[in-house]
Structure 1
Amino acid sequence: MNDPSDDIVFAGEADRAQVLAHGRRLLAQSPRLAAAQAREILRLSPHDGDALRLLAQALRRLGNDEEASEVELASVEAAGHSPTLVEAAIAIQSQKLHEAERLLRPWLGAHPDDAAALRMLAEIGALVGARKDAEQLLRKALEVVPRYRSARLRLVTLLIDQNRMHDAFTLLETMLAEEPDNAGILGTKADALGRMGDYRQAAALYTRLLERMPDHSGLWVNLGHVRNTLGDTEGSVEAYRRSAALKPEAGVVWWSLANLKTFRFAPEDVAVMRRELARDDLGEDQRLHLHFALGKAFEDAGQVEESFAHYAAGNAIRKAQSGYHADVITGLVDQSLSLLKDGATGPAQHASEAVTPIFIVGLPRAGSTLIEQILASHSAIEGTAELPVLPLLTRELEQEEGGRYPENIRALSPERAREIGERYLEGAAVYRKTDRPFFIDKLPNNWLHVALIARILPNARIIDARRHPLDCGWSLFKQNFARGQGFSYDLDDIGHYYRDYVRLMAAVDAAMPGRVHRVIHERLVEDSETEIRAMLDYVGVPFEEGVLRHHENDRAVRTPSAAQVRKPINREGMERWRPFEPWLGPLKEALGDVLDTYPEAPASI
């Protein structure tokens, strides 16, 4: 047998590209020689990603899977020694996605099997909403490096975002079988359990992780979130306090305390937040969270001018990040109005009657959580959460049907509409825990999709939760939404959004009288039993005394109103805008006659 050195090229004797090409030719003929050639390159350049990938491929062919896996992971770590990939990673972290893509595309052209580069390009795709493309890139990266943990975990979150919970948990369990004590995998599982509504299991897993890592401030925040959802306000405050003590500059912790709504900051808390906000090295995200938390602190103290200044500063940062354009929503509403006018929202045929969804729509902070809590206290109705299912279906419609949503609703055949309705019910079933005949989908933004709901789910109930536009608008402006509510960071945008909402719902009333049941928040507060009975009549279930004691329901509530809906109905949240009226001019102007005619829609709309 020839000595391998007779068949390999010494790295110092030829151009690197020629040496690599020779090694790749050897791979097809003799994996043993290809491995030797790769090791020769690595002798002089130990972080050469191409050589590491060549060595891993050779080892796989030789059956040395364990060593191959280690070399594959080393090829991922080699990205840290590539100036191009380091620059791309910094660009992604700085949200300079076009710059990062400009660096990654040519790199992958020359190194198509670089798993780290594929993972980074997938991250860009996920950030811009190209989830299918991102998934394909991640799966390609995992073909190259099957145990690439970061890519696997990102794929899990991507699957969850697409409501593919079974696939996500299957991958998680595979990873945990290999690394049962890995904190990153366990943390991702806890987050996934929370998204699925298994909050008690999530809390138990976070607690288990904190026993091992008591100084992990992020885990304390996550535990606080879950405890709040479960109604354990005291435990939630304790967890947030532990996190703040570990990392006082973490604005998200202080905002989490503020977001409990019933919590009040002590003077020493305010002093710490102001001190941290004054730091020159504070990141933008930390800064905006501190502004919102201080806005709440000063509002509670009655210092309205300073409170508004902090709310405005936090919202200004959020608005710059959001890229929100009000005319996009106006355009969607205009298209929906055309569909309603033309009668293109006729119902599907033979829709399933085994289970009936109840959509609670409207603007966030309009009382939808209270309505959900009331309905979920009925023995025939299950409360779930703000389900992502319908927005996902609208994106799939664009891919499958062609054309822009919602115009493509027009071309749906009765059979196709029925099939889409069944897909919605299947997607929602993932979040259900009971077999009650009714369940609630409380995603407020679904008001934009009422035309689709009417088309694909003719049996669905639709409840429009409406609150005084100044109470609602001010509550939106001071709520630090993490995502999905880009309109809420500017008073003028809030007014236009509210106006578009009223405009569409008025058209729905005209085109489909009685299809939507409207609950005016102020009437619900003033005459609760009358409004609750009317709501139950609309849903089609008999009155039960338990719905009047909804605040005793210990179900998990995952919204900012969690603590508030666990109290009897009261007027605490009403007319909170009045002390801030001097600054609400842009909101009033944008609302126009919608404000004057509330709770009715103006004739001019």
Structure 2
Amino acid sequence: MKSESEQSPIKAGYDLLRQGLFREAVEHGERLASRAPRDVDVLVFLSEACFAVGDLEMARSRLQSAIEASGGSLPLKIKQAGLLVHMRRRADARALAMETTTSAGARGNGQALWQLASIMVNCNRPAEAIGLYEQARVSLGDHPGLLYDLAVAQFFTGDFAGAELNLDRMLGMVPDAGHALYLRSTVRRQTDARNHVDALRQRLASGVGRAEWEAGAWYALGKELEDLGEHDAAFDAIVRGAAVKRSTLTYDIAAECAAIVSVCDAYSETAMNEAAAGHEAADPIFVVGMPRTGTTLLERILVQGGDVRSAGEPLDFAQLVAQYTRQAAGGRPEVSPAEASRGIDFEALGREYARGASEAAGATRFIDKMPVNYLYCGLIRKALPNARILHLTRDPVDSCWAIFKTLFFSAYHFSYDLEELGRYYVAYAQAMAHWHSVMPNGILDVRYEDLVSDPEGEAKRVLEWCRLPYDASIRYGAAPQKAAFTTASAAQVREPVHARSVGSSRRHRERLAPLIETFAAAGLQAR
């Protein structure tokens, strides 16, 4: 490495960051700042270094100093808003983004407006983002990435016609974009008169350059063929897409299942009976389970009365558990993360979680619909003793078929191989059995099949358990009109409640035999 005399001091600092020498980078930045406390470039570098070591508050403070020293730099304000989102300070991030959109520098600045719109989406405000995306289009025109982001926001807010129109525009410029092909296939049910099956087949036959895009094209084809009732061909396409997607991933199913077991082992009945001072001021509702089991439908029923709002599917709880676990571990490599987590300051965890998630919902009483929070049921109870946990259950084979035929992009790596999917499902089912055992009466199971066959009855049962009023004048099975749903099932959840998906895996029983055998060996009964 060159000495500071041979290159600029700030470049030397960024070299330290690239080498992973984060503490040394902070010390270097502090020395530079002591000599030049109003140097914008120095302050930005020091903010980056503080972020690298995990000192987010100091990173924010240094960046704020850089904004002031720069006279209110627009790019630095946008960077600050993004940092506030990362810190789960969504109210502050949204306020800064809204303030910035009205500044002279943002007017007509398409790139800035695009970034500010994305911040709004990350604050769980897709409806507010749409206008900013549209303003960005005035300046930038029909940029493919901008059109896609706009379509996603429209998809979340229920403007499916608008989303499809913008996806068509994008695909006119980037016809192989698999993520856009897949999203377009999901915005509505395809019909014999209006579908893209032939075009998708032609595109796949001619070759799609990127593996990620090829996977998206296969999943799009599978979804459209299933809509048209061509179930065997749909299964073939999904298998092809899953294999391509799995080839792009580095993933160890054994390690993931072992991690699930380790959490359950750490939170035994004895551990759950140990006193923990949690944050009692908050009473969130967690909706947990496997994806594609009706979690969004249950969320929709809960919000219809207006007494609770959705925070979406935030990663907050898992991220905070990881952060507080590192602190509790104290640099002791011999202690497993699950064991170390028992030393967490659960009151602080619950307080910080409730603050951030309530800002995502815009309400003090909120729903967290991140399905994989099932893994943290024991920690939720300790950190938030007044939380209500709802667990969606569904026929295991139906559940896995619904998961397998969905492209999740960067999530749920276990979902692209039937053998891995089966192993993960068994680990999940065993974890939930454990939580029921060590937290008796602490989790309410809600069967998907009951939810779609008797939405009114299930709504009354669930609302009562959540200490929310049941309003007999509300049709809980009707399609919602206004709420945003930031989830892959945003289109399906806007339909009236139906039971079309119950037993949907039965037509593929032979091809799903490995799953059924895995479940039978684990003692799980498919209905």
* Structure 1 residue corresponding to 2:189, chosen from 233, 252, 262: 262
1:570 partner letter: H
Taking the TM superposition and a 5 Å limit, the aligned residue runs for 1:182-581 are 182-260=109-187, 262-264=189-191, 269-279=196-206, 282-346=209-273, 348-349=276-277, 351-353=279-281, 355-402=282-329, 403-412=335-344, 416-435=345-364, 438-545=365-472, 546=474, 548-581=476-509
1:411 partner letter: G
Structure 1 residue 471: Cα displacement: 1.2
Using a 3 Å threshold, how does the CA distance of structure 1 residues 162 and 274 change in structure 2: closer, same or farther? farther
Contact 1:262 1:564 in 2 (8 A): no
Separation (CA, whole Å) in 2 of partners of 1:293 and 1:267: 14
Using a 3 Å threshold, how does the CA distance of structure 1 residues 520 and 595 change in structure 2: closer, same or farther? farther
In structure 1, the gaps of 5 or more residues are: 1-16, 25-49, 58-71, 80-84, 86-99, 600-605
Using a 3 Å threshold, how does the CA distance of structure 1 residues 131 and 170 change in structure 2: closer, same or farther? farther
Structure 1 residue 510: Cα displacement: 1.5
Structure 1 residue 516: Cα displacement: 0.2
Using a 3 Å threshold, how does the CA distance of structure 1 residues 250 and 441 change in structure 2: closer, same or farther? same
Q: Give the structure 2 partner of residue 597 of structure 1.
A: 525
Bigger relative CO (Cα 8 Å, ≥ 6 apart): 2
Structure 1 residue 465: Cα displacement: 0.5
Separation (CA, whole Å) in 2 of partners of 1:177 and 1:188: 16
1:163 paired to 2:88: yes
Separation (CA, whole Å) in 2 of partners of 1:568 and 1:179: 41
Contact 1:375 1:547 in 2 (8 A): no
Separation (CA, whole Å) in 2 of partners of 1:544 and 1:205: 37
RMSD (Å) for aligned C-alpha atoms: 3.9
Contact 2:293 2:399 in 1 (8 A): yes
Separation (CA, whole Å) in 1 of partners of 2:20 and 2:495: 54
Taking the TM superposition and a 5 Å limit, the aligned residue runs for 1:123-142 are 132=54
Contact 1:206 1:219 in 2 (8 A): yes
Q: Structure 1 residues 177-186 or 306-315, which shifts more?
A: 177-186
1:426 partner letter: R
Using a 3 Å threshold, how does the CA distance of structure 1 residues 295 and 149 change in structure 2: closer, same or farther? farther
Structure 1 residue 488: Cα displacement: 1.1
Please give the TM-score of this superposition, normalised by the length of structure 2: 0.81
Separation (CA, whole Å) in 2 of partners of 1:554 and 1:287: 34
1:425 partner letter: A
Separation (CA, whole Å) in 1 of partners of 2:21 and 2:205: 37
Using a 3 Å threshold, how does the CA distance of structure 1 residues 262 and 131 change in structure 2: closer, same or farther? farther
In structure 2, the gaps of 5 or more residues are: 33-40, 330-334
1:556 partner letter: A
Question: What does the per-residue CA deviation read over 1:527-573, in whole Å, with 9 as the maximum and x for residues that have no partner?
Answer: 33322222122112232122625523521111122222222211122
Contact 2:380 2:387 in 1 (8 A): yes
Separation (CA, whole Å) in 2 of partners of 1:322 and 1:179: 39
Separation (CA, whole Å) in 2 of partners of 1:549 and 1:292: 29
Q: Structure 1 residues 242-251 or 384-393, which shifts more?
A: 242-251
Using a 3 Å threshold, how does the CA distance of structure 1 residues 496 and 152 change in structure 2: closer, same or farther? farther
2:352 partner letter: R
Separation (CA, whole Å) in 2 of partners of 1:371 and 1:158: 32
Q: Identity across aligned pairs (percent)?
A: 26
Separation (CA, whole Å) in 1 of partners of 2:302 and 2:408: 25
* 2:216 match: secondary structure: helix
Q: Give the structure 2 partner of residue 43 of structure 1.
A: none
Separation (CA, whole Å) in 1 of partners of 2:148 and 2:270: 49
Structure 1 residue 515: Cα displacement: 0.4
Separation (CA, whole Å) in 1 of partners of 2:480 and 2:166: 24
* 1:360 match: secondary structure: strand
Separation (CA, whole Å) in 1 of partners of 2:339 and 2:413: 23
Separation (CA, whole Å) in 2 of partners of 1:250 and 1:476: 22
Q: Structure 1 residues 301-310 or 367-376, which shifts more?
A: 301-310
The structure number with the bigger radius of gyration is 1
Structure 1 residue 406: Cα displacement: 2.4
Contact 1:329 1:500 in 2 (8 A): no
Count of residues in correspondence between the two structures: 493
Contact 2:85 2:119 in 1 (8 A): yes
Separation (CA, whole Å) in 2 of partners of 1:471 and 1:597: 12
Using a 3 Å threshold, how does the CA distance of structure 1 residues 554 and 232 change in structure 2: closer, same or farther? same
* 1:385 match: secondary structure: coil
Separation (CA, whole Å) in 2 of partners of 1:549 and 1:400: 45
Question: What does the per-residue CA deviation read over 1:377-409, in whole Å, with 9 as the maximum and x for residues that have no partner?
Answer: 123222220122101111102221114432223
Separation (CA, whole Å) in 1 of partners of 2:79 and 2:417: 32
Separation (CA, whole Å) in 1 of partners of 2:452 and 2:83: 40
* Structure 2 residue corresponding to 1:582, chosen from 500, 505, 510: 510
Structure 1 residue 247: Cα displacement: 2.3
2:339 partner letter: E
Taking the TM superposition and a 5 Å limit, the aligned residue runs for 1:43-82 are 50=7, 53=8
Contact 1:348 1:458 in 2 (8 A): no
